[in-house]
Structure 1
Amino acid sequence: MGPLFTQAEQSRGQKVPQFLVVITDGQSGDDVKIPAETLRAQGITVYAIGVRGAVEAELLEIAGDPNRKFSVNNFDALNPIKDDIIRDICSTTKDEPELVCGREQMRLTVSKRILEEQGLNGFSAHLVDPRCHQQLDGNRTISYLVDRRKVCGNLVKNNGTHVTYSNTVFVFPSNRSNASLSVPRCFPFSCVFPLDDITSLDAAIGIQPAACQSSGEGVVSSGDPTRASMTLYTRPDFSEAIPAGPVRLPLGSALHVAVSVNNTEYDGFGLLLETCYFTNSPNASDPRKHFLIENRCAVDRRHVQVLESGASLRARFSALLFLYHGTYEDVYLHCSISMCDHSSAPCSPNCSRRKARSAVSSDQLAVAVGPISWF
C-alpha cells in the first residue's frame, strides 16, 4: 500500500494530505500494526471500519487513534459513518482558520498542523488582553473563544447597519524562552452582525492595526442579526402584558409600551427610543404617521410620557389613545430605536427644548405591534 501513496505523491506538483480508509469484517491473517505505523509515519491518515466480526484491537492498531476507529453491525450501517469521516477529513485538510460568530461567543479555530508547521505553540496563545486565553483542545485543532461583549480587548465598530466585533489571537513560537522576547504570530478576526432593529451605537470606535506578524487582513465572518421586541401592557407598573395579536382598547385609555433587547453582548449599552408613531397599516413607511415620540422626546407631554430610554436594554413609555387620524380604523404602533454606548456618550435624551421634526432614518427598521382596535 505504501508504494501507491508514494507514486501518487510524486505525480503531483505539491504535497497534499493523504488518507486511507480500511474496511474489514474479520481478523487479519498477518500483522497489521507495523504496516499501519509505517503509513502513518509517512503522513498518511488511516481510518479503520470494522463490520460485525472484526477485532477491535486490530482496528485500533490500524487507525492508531480511537477517534478514527469505527464499528458497525452490518454493511448497511456504513452510510452514516461516511459523513463522519468526510467531516473529519475536511476539518483536517482545512488550512485556513475557521471563525464562528455566535450570539454569545466568537470562536476562532486553527489547525494544529498549521501551527506546528509554522513553529508555533498553540497553547501559548492569548487575545489582545493577555488575561484572556480561553481555549478548546480538539483532536486536530485548537479553538480560541471570546464572549461577544466589550471584554478581552474586543473592539466594537458600528456603521449604522452593522456592528463589527474585532480582536486578535497572538500565538508564540514553540522555542520561546524567558530569556529573550519572542515576537508572536497574530491571527486577526472580525465578526460582523447585521443590525435589524438596532440602528446606531452612537459611538464609532476605531480599530488599531495589530503590531505583529500576520499573514493577511484576518478572518472575517458574519452572525445573526440582533432583534428587538415590543410588548404592550395594560397596567402602569408594566406587570400585566397584553398577549401578542390584535388588541382592542377603549378610546382615552392608556397604553403602556416596553421595547427591549435581550442580547447580553450589549452589556454597557442603553436602548434609546428614537421615534414612535401610529399608522393605519402595518407598513412602517406609511406616509400617514402620528408621532408620539420624535427626536427621542415626547411630542405632546399631555398625551405621552417617556419613562425610560437610554438607561438599560429596555425602554418604556405610556401614551393615551385617541382618534389620531379622525377615523376608527385600526392602528399599528412602530418604534425606531438605537443603541448608546454608556462609556462613550451621554445616553439620556435632552428634551428641555423642542427640536425640528425629522423623518425616520432609512437605516432604522421599525419594531411594530398591531392592529389596535377602538371601542
Structure 2
Amino acid sequence: MPESCVNQGMCGTDIPLWLNGSHPRLEDGVVSRQVCGSWYGDCCYFKSYPIQVKACPGNYYVYEFVSPVTCSSAYCADVAHITMTEAPTTAMVDPCKELNCTADEWCGESNGVYGCFCNENHPRPGNDSYDSKEECESSSGTMSLSRCQLFEAGFSADLLHLSDPNCTGTIQNGRLVFHFNNDDHICGTSLMANGTHFIYENTIQGGAESGGGPIHRKKYLELQFSCIYQISQTLSMDTELTPLQSVVHKNLPDGQGMYQVRIVPYQDAALSQPYNGSVKIVVDERIYVGVFVQGVDSRQIATVIDSCWATPERDQHHAVRWHLITNRCPNSADKTVEVLQNGVSTTGLFSFKMFAFNGNYQKVFLHCSIYLCLLQNNNCAEDCVPGFHPRVGRSVNNHDLASISVGPFIWTT
C-alpha cells in the first residue's frame, strides 16, 4: 500500500484508502496502522478503522483489512513500487531416476507408488514363487530376489527385512539382496540339526497395503530359506606321487554349503613336521595323523573321527584291512592307537605305531571316516573308557559323514 496521500478519484474509486504510517520491519512482527481516505482535498478526510500489517521474508507484506467506512472507498496498491518476485519452488524430483531401473525393468506407477516393473521377457516363475538365488558359505548366507517381481506382487523392497527387522536388503543390479552371518550380523538366523544335516534358517518378511476408506487389503510376505550342510562323504587321495596330503572340495547343490576335508600325517604330536613326498617309515615308529575340516563355523561345529582303517592297496574297500579307530575309539586289539583329539574342534588327531601287512605287501594306505557335529553342551566328544564298549550310532546333532584316504606309507624294517 502507498504510504503517502492518494488523490481523490485514484485507484479506480472515489475515495482511495492509503496507509498513514510506515510499513513494519521483519523484527516488528504484526503492527497496527491507521488508514486514511482522500475527499474534498483532504488527504485524511475519512479515517478508517486500523488494519494489521506484517512484514514477511521474501520482501512482501501481509495485510488484514477491515471493511471501508463507505461503499465508495477502496484500498490502494502502490503498483509503481511493487517488485514482482517469483515464489520459491520445490525442485521436481524424478522418481524413476532415483529407482535406477535396469535394462530388464521399466519404471512405472502402481496405486500411487513408483517402482520398477519387469520387462515382458523377464522370467516369471508364477504368482506363488519368486526368482530367487541363494549362496551358502560356512556360517553365512545370501538370498536375493527379483525387485520387479516383488513390486508387481505389491511388495516394496524397502519394507522387507529378515527375521530381525533391522536387517533390511540392498538393491544390487535389480535384485533385492539379504545377507546374514554368525559373526556380527546374525539377523535372527537359527541353527538346527537333524539326523543327516545341519541347517541355518531365516525368513524374508514384510507387509503391503492396498485399499481405502473403511476397508483394507493388507497382505504379508514370508519367504523362508535355509543353508543346508550335508554330513557324509567318502574320499580317497588321487595319486601316490603327490605329497602325503589329500584335499577334497565338497560341492553341494544350490542352497547347500561347501567345505574341505584334509588328512595329513605328521612326525610329531604338535603337528609341526608333516611327512611329504615319498615316505618310508620304520615299523613300530609312532606316526601322528591330523584330520582337518575347513569352511564350517568352528565355534558351533566339531569334527568327529568315526573310524580309521588301513589297507595294503589304495582301495578303501580292500578285503585285507586293519582297524585303528572304530566307533570313535581306538581298536582294542591295537594297544598303540591313541585318540588325542576328537569332537572338540574342527581338527581331529590320533596316533599309532607303524606296522606292515603280512604277505607280499609293501605299502600301507590309510582311510578315515569323519562326521560333523553341532557343539552343544560338549556332546561331541567321545569318552573312550578302556574295558567298556563304545556307544554305537550318532545323535541327531551329528552331520555329514565323510571318508578320506591318504598314502601310501612304505614301511621299512
Is 1:312 the equivalent of 2:318? no
Question: Which of residues 226, 230, 252 in structure 2 aligns to 1:190?
Answer: 226
User: How much does 1:357 deviate?
Assistant: 10
Give 1 or 2 for the bigger CA radius of gyration: 2
Find the residue that maps to 1:227 and give its secondary structure. Answer: strand
User: How much does 1:317 deviate?
Assistant: 0.9
Please say if residues 274 and 293 of structure 1, whose CA atoms lie closer than 8 Å, have aligned partners that are also in contact.
Answer: yes
Find the residue that maps to 2:313 and give its secondary structure. Answer: coil
Please say if residues 312 and 361 of structure 2, whose CA atoms lie closer than 8 Å, have aligned partners that are also in contact.
Answer: no
User: How much does 1:94 deviate?
Assistant: 4.8
Task: State the alpha-carbon separation in 2 of the partners of residues 163 and 312 from structure 1.
Answer: 16
1:251 corresponds to: 283
1:268 corresponds to: 300
Task: State the alpha-carbon separation in 1 of the partners of residues 358 and 219 from structure 2.
Answer: 68
Alpha-carbon deviations, 1:287-333, whole Å to 9, x = none? 32211111111114630111100110001011101224465421111
2:372 corresponds to: 339
Is 1:371 the equivalent of 2:403? no
Please say if residues 121 and 174 of structure 1, whose CA atoms lie closer than 8 Å, have aligned partners that are also in contact.
Answer: no
Question: Which of residues 171, 176, 179 in structure 2 aligns to 1:137?
Answer: 171
| More off after superposition, 245-254 vs 274-283 | 245-254
User: How much does 1:356 deviate?
Assistant: 7.1
Find the residue that maps to 1:113 and give its secondary structure. Answer: helix
- TM-score normalized by structure 1? 0.60
1:110 corresponds to: 145
- TM-score normalized by structure 2? 0.55
Task: Give the aligned residue type for 1:191.
Answer: C
User: How much does 1:113 deviate?
Assistant: 2.0
2:16 corresponds to: none
Task: Give the aligned residue type for 2:266.
Answer: Y
1:355 corresponds to: 389
Q: Which runs of 5+ in 1 are unaligned?
A: 1-40, 44-59, 69-87, 176-181, 200-219
CA shift in 2, pair 1:110/1:142, >3 Å: same
Task: State the alpha-carbon separation in 2 of the partners of residues 302 and 108 from structure 1.
Answer: 51
Task: State the alpha-carbon separation in 1 of the partners of residues 149 and 206 from structure 2.
Answer: 12
Matched positions, count:
266
Alpha-carbon deviations, 1:113-147, whole Å to 9, x = none? 2222333232233323445x153312422111223
Matches within 5 A, 1:1-375: 68=103, 92-94=122-124, 96-104=130-138, 105-131=140-166, 133=167, 135-147=169-181, 151=186, 152-160=188-196, 162-173=197-208, 184-197=220-233, 221-223=254-256, 225-243=258-276, 246-300=278-332, 302-325=335-358, 328-343=361-376, 346-352=379-385, 353-355=387-389, 364-375=401-412
Task: State the alpha-carbon separation in 1 of the partners of residues 254 and 137 from structure 2.
Answer: 13
CA shift in 2, pair 1:198/1:332, >3 Å: closer
Task: State the alpha-carbon separation in 1 of the partners of residues 329 and 391 from structure 2.
Answer: 11
User: How much does 1:344 deviate?
Assistant: 6.1
Query: Normalized per residue, which structure has more strand?
Result: 2
Find the residue that maps to 1:228 and give its secondary structure. Answer: strand
Please say if residues 206 and 221 of structure 2, whose CA atoms lie closer than 8 Å, have aligned partners that are also in contact.
Answer: yes
User: How much does 1:241 deviate?
Assistant: 1.5
Task: State the alpha-carbon separation in 1 of the partners of residues 278 and 146 from structure 2.
Answer: 53
Find the residue that maps to 2:158 and give its secondary structure. Answer: strand
Cα RMSD of the aligned pairs, angstroms, is 3.9
Task: State the alpha-carbon separation in 2 of the partners of residues 99 and 188 from structure 1.
Answer: 13
Task: State the alpha-carbon separation in 2 of the partners of residues 266 and 279 from structure 1.
Answer: 31
Find the residue that maps to 2:350 and give its secondary structure. Answer: strand
Task: State the alpha-carbon separation in 2 of the partners of residues 371 and 163 from structure 1.
Answer: 34
User: How much does 1:253 deviate?
Assistant: 0.9
Find the residue that maps to 2:408 and give its secondary structure. Answer: strand
Find the residue that maps to 1:222 and give its secondary structure. Answer: coil
Task: Give the aligned residue type for 1:222.
Answer: G
| More off after superposition, 98-107 vs 268-277 | 98-107
Please say if residues 343 and 382 of structure 2, whose CA atoms lie closer than 8 Å, have aligned partners that are also in contact.
Answer: yes
Task: Give the aligned residue type for 2:279.
Answer: V
Identity of matched residues, % = 22
User: How much does 1:284 deviate?
Assistant: 1.7
Find the residue that maps to 2:159 and give its secondary structure. Answer: strand
Task: Give the aligned residue type for 1:285.
Answer: H
